[in-house]
Amino acid sequence: MKNIDSYTHTRGESIYLDDIPVVAGTLYAACFDSPVAHGKIISLDVHAAEKSPGVVRVLTHKDITGINQIGGIIPDEELFAEEHVHFCGMPVALVIAETDHQARAAVKKIKIEIELLHVITDPREAAEKGELIVPPRTFKTGDCETAWAACDHIFEGKADTNGQEHLYIETQGAYAVPGEHGVIKIYSSTQGPTAVQRAVSKVTGLPMHRLEVDVTRLGGGFGGKEDQANTWAALCALATHVLKRPVKYSLSRMEDIRMTGKRHPYSSDFKIGLNKDLKIIAYEVTFYQNAGAAADLSPAVMERTLFHATNTYFIPNATATAYSCRTNLPPNTAFRGFGGPQGMFVIESAIAKAADELGVNAAIIQQKNLLQTGDELLYGQNVVSEANECWDKAVALYDLEAAQKEIIVFNEANHVYKKGIALMPICFGISFTNTLMNQARALVHVYTDGSVVVSTGAIEMGQGVNTKILQVVAQIFSIDPARVKVNSTNTYRIANTSPSAASATADLNGKATFIACTEILNRLKEVAASELKVAASLIEIKDELVFTNGIKSGLDWVQLVEMTFAKRISLSEHGHYSTPDIHFDKAIGKGHPFAYHVYGTAITTVTVDCIRGIYEVDSVKIVHDFGSSMNPIIDLGQIEGGVVQGIGWMTIEEIVYDKEGKLRSNALSTYKVPDIYSAPKEIKVDFLQTQQDNLAIFRSKAVGEPPLMYGIGAFFALRNAIKNFNPNLKPAFDAPMTPEKVLMNLYPEKIAALKTIHHAKETIQAAEIKV
């Protein structure tokens, strides 16, 4: 089934936040944010802004009617800076004016005096100074200390990954409209309507039942609107609460990039020990997570890094420790993979390092250590593994041996161009690691004309969740999908939702929908049974017709619905689902936190232009564990999109902060995401369809986050291509592998020679070259 939004999407008729028709009297907001990364506010002068044409009001922390606090996990984040600013882009004041243009013009008239304080951008510096968001955490299995003695080979190293800007094409925004009895309706581009409701409740002091949050869809989220949509909603709602007028704020791209957090950069140390058979015996890793200036979701992201520290490998002795480090960057946040990719990059680096030193192909070490069913991960969960199935099928289906030979032949024949290849197996746990979040509700109404409307807590952001929800309804009732409408996500219809995140949205909300529909279906069957005078167990609805014992009864869907209503039996149901079997003891770091795991293997081939340092991804060939895909078009789209986003993170997407904590890659002209030419020439996806039961909706495994991690293969393929140019080179494990890093890695001697002649200023200078 095609994405149910494809009709309005392709016609430009889908409605996003900035497309909602504005009601008369709407005011426009614009934020004045800190120009420096760390300092003490000496004075703030909003007088000129207040006098600026069209300005209705300038709000600061003094105008907050509730509390000046939007921290989700930890209350450590002010909405408006009060005494100190902690990052460039931190909101200080909000201008509200009659037009968007006037609001932005007035922002420029605000003056602030700040006493500069020391700026930290490096997580290791923060850790050294004890600037931690939460105490460090360790996951541990076996005993590394004694295991090192049993290792034939031990290698140590460092691995770094940079952040990643979400770059949802629709920027963040909110629109608050006052209603009667102090109610505020908030349209928000958020993945977490309940999080918005809570944040607004705190800031305004209004109880949650006065706050209706409504979301039709997002123009992309990727985690960036899980927690960070709260700020804009809180600002607009506060203004509405104070002024009793509708207030809208749709961020400009530069405001968005400057003021919001990104994927967490990590700097990590690893130590890996193998025996002579290349089995990994012990692995020790320390992660320094760059959390930014406040907690946001960092503790949860850090936890998932620990969960995925050993990726898809069985390692009997492993110790993983993580520090969530407070720096003066915008609070970093959720991003597809949620810390998992950062954890996986380090173990893959450790394996690559071992392979380099031992002179073997990394794929041999990877393959020998893949998880088997029954193996226990470092957090105590025993896995039902598809790791070997995916790997073996990929190697056979895509003829790895032939591909490797072709590359050798190509590299011998070419001096300018060198190819490299790498395998990337993945294992990703599905569920919120915070067990209590694994619950969802769905509200299903069947109307007397036989049409159905369903509301859930799921947010449609392009991942196709609404299509899957609609499929559940149509399939359970066995009715034409055209009879089903998926409603917007609204906190008045569905309360206390978990955000659409952790790849679990279709599972949780789909199952809740399944429960609600099944309950209604059972009532309908009872009615049919009593009408047809047979046992309910013999009744079946197929293609909108009622069958008794497999024979057409003459009753159809609409008649049965009318009949049920006439008997005063409810045609509505509110279904509730909570994931069974999962538990996790945070104190000891052990349990069974995931409903299931998703597996897969990708083979990535790249070509590097060794004169210019530029490169192309020739192909990514994947075998992916879908369970049993309920929507192959949507699932294929998630894989292809995830792969390219992952490749972007590993290659050209480079976030640049200067030492003062100012973002230099602050626009689409300086932060480059993949375009159509930089997507791999070929992406092949083989659907590994398995028969085992699992906790996914219709056994169709979650597919949102896992494919992003295939992109990690591009880094190692590029690294291998560089080594194929010159086997003596040992490129650092420092992602992304930009064309700059490729070139610098290819020619260390030329760089050394240049450095002796020209004393380069290594740091970013303030006087940036403008276009």
Q: Among 264, 401, 313, 349, which residue's Cα sits nearest to residue 712?
A: 349
Give me the least distance between CB of 482 and another protein, in Å please: 15
Closer residue to another protein in complex, CB, 533/770:
770
Closer residue to another protein in complex, CB, 418/597:
418
As a whole number of angstroms, the distance between CA 554 and CA 539 comes to 12
According to the binding rule CB under 8 A, does residue 558 interact with another protein? no
- Count the neighbouring beta carbons within 10 Å of the beta carbon of residue 53: 11
Would you give the binding string for another protein spanning residues 670-699, x where CB under 8 A is met? Answer: x-xxxxxxxx---x----------------
Residues 95 to 134: which contact another protein by CB under 8 A? 101, 104-105
Pick one of 23, 149, 408, 611: the residue that binds another protein (CB under 8 A).
611
Burial per residue of 331-344, b for 16 or more beta-carbon CB atoms within 10 angstroms, e otherwise: bbbbbbbbbbbbbb
The span of 190-198, 247-255, 311-319, 430-438 binding another protein (CB under 8 A) equals 247-255
Pick one of 253, 279, 592, 730: the residue that binds another protein (CB under 8 A).
253
Closer residue to another protein in complex, CB, 95/743:
743
C-beta of residue 278 within 8 angstroms of C-beta of residue 368 = yes
Q: Residue 770 has what DSSP assignment?
A: P
The three state secondary structure string of 262-301 is CECCEEEEEEEEECCCCCEEEEEEEEEEEEECCCCCHHHH
Closer residue to another protein in complex, CB, 551/760:
760
Closer residue to another protein in complex, CB, 171/319:
171
As a whole number of angstroms, the distance between CA 463 and CA 396 comes to 31
Burial per residue of 82-115, b for 16 or more beta-carbon CB atoms within 10 angstroms, e otherwise: eebbbbbbbbbbbbbbeebebbbbbbebbebebe
The span of 203-211, 442-450, 479-487, 634-642 binding another protein (CB under 8 A) equals 634-642
According to the binding rule CB under 8 A, does residue 386 interact with another protein? no
The span of 152-160, 440-448, 503-511, 640-648 binding another protein (CB under 8 A) equals 640-648
As a whole number of angstroms, the distance between CA 165 and CA 184 comes to 31
Give me the least distance between CB of 659 and another protein, in Å please: 11
705 is an active site residue: yes
**Helices and strands, counts by H and E, the chain:** 20, 30
According to the binding rule CB under 8 A, does residue 771 interact with another protein? yes
Give me the least distance between CB of 662 and another protein, in Å please: 11
Give me the least distance between CB of 532 and another protein, in Å please: 41
C-beta of residue 188 within 8 angstroms of C-beta of residue 229 = yes
According to the binding rule CB under 8 A, does residue 54 interact with another protein? no
Pick one of 65, 252, 275, 689: the residue that binds another protein (CB under 8 A).
252
Residues 280 to 309: which contact another protein by CB under 8 A? none
Pick one of 71, 72, 462, 627: the residue that binds another protein (CB under 8 A).
462
Give me the least distance between CB of 256 and another protein, in Å please: 10
Antiparallel, parallel or unpaired: β 247-250 and 266-274: unpaired
Closer residue to another protein in complex, CB, 693/740:
740
Give me the least distance between CB of 682 and another protein, in Å please: 9
As a whole number of angstroms, the distance between CA 319 and CA 304 comes to 14
DSSP character string of 459-501: --SSS-HHHHHHHHHHHHHT--GGGEEEPPEETTTS-SPPPS-
According to the binding rule CB under 8 A, does residue 745 interact with another protein? no
| Phi, psi for 421 (deg, rounded to 5) | -135, 150
Give me the least distance between CB of 771 and another protein, in Å please: 5
Residue 414 tokens read as 């070419």
Q: Residue 623 has what DSSP assignment?
A: E
Who contacts 479 (Cβ-Cβ below 8 Å, separation ≥6)? Answer: 450, 452, 473, 541, 544, 557
Q: Which residues pair with 574 in a beta bridge?
A: 443
Residues 162 to 201: which contact another protein by CB under 8 A? 166-171
As a whole number of angstroms, the distance between CA 107 and CA 453 comes to 44
According to the binding rule CB under 8 A, does residue 612 interact with another protein? yes
Closer residue to another protein in complex, CB, 251/427:
251
Set 156, 180, 705, 740: catalytic member? 705
According to the binding rule CB under 8 A, does residue 764 interact with another protein? yes
Closer residue to another protein in complex, CB, 167/606:
167
According to the binding rule CB under 8 A, does residue 643 interact with another protein? yes
- DSSP E strands, 60-196: 84-85, 91-97, 111-116, 137-141, 153-161, 173-178, 184-188
Residue 404 tokens read as 């490797």
The span of 292-300, 305-313, 584-592, 652-660 binding another protein (CB under 8 A) equals 652-660
Q: Which residues pair with 540 in a beta bridge?
A: 547
The span of 40-48, 119-127, 250-258, 317-325 binding another protein (CB under 8 A) equals 250-258
Closer residue to another protein in complex, CB, 50/640:
640
Closer residue to another protein in complex, CB, 273/711:
711
Residues 203 to 222: which contact another protein by CB under 8 A? 217-222
Pick one of 488, 637, 686, 730: the residue that binds another protein (CB under 8 A).
637
Start-to-end C-alpha separation, the chain: 46
According to the binding rule CB under 8 A, does residue 756 interact with another protein? no
Q: Which residues pair with 161 in a beta bridge?
A: 266, 735
Give me the least distance between CB of 216 and another protein, in Å please: 11
According to the binding rule CB under 8 A, does residue 633 interact with another protein? yes
Would you give the binding string for another protein spanning residues 362-381, x where CB under 8 A is met? Answer: --------------------
Question: Hey, which residues are catalytic here?
Answer: 705
